[in-house]
Amino acid sequence: MAYRMIPHLPMRPLWRCRNCGAEWPCPPARLGLLVEYRDDRTGLLFYLSGLMAEARAQLTQLNPERSLDLHERFLNWARARD
């Protein structure tokens, strides 16, 4: 039986992973992004910043009363380690 690979991509507007259901970016998505942007950490941070803004807008529409701090979820893990 052949299995169809489902990529670890965000399911908008919920910003959950289409594959595993975790908050996106989930650990497999993070690993994939680090590999894809291994030579361009600044580019990765710019890309994630744009997605974070999109996620904030969509998640706020879904639940306006909830305060969102998405920085840890989208950016802190992607910063270069000293």
Whether residue 66 is predicted with pLDDT greater than 90 in this model: the reply is no
Two structure tokens written together for 50:
């744009």
Number of Cα atoms under 13 Å in the Cβ half of residue 16: 6
pLDDT of residue 2: 64
Question: So what's the pLDDT on residue 1?
Answer: 60
Predicted TM-score (pTM) of the model is 0.89
Overall average pLDDT of the 54-62 stretch: 96
Does pLDDT of 28 surpass 90?
yes
**pLDDT band at 80; cut points 50, 70, 90:** confident
Question: Mind listing the pLDDT tens digit for each residue in 5-19?
Answer: 889 999 999 999 999
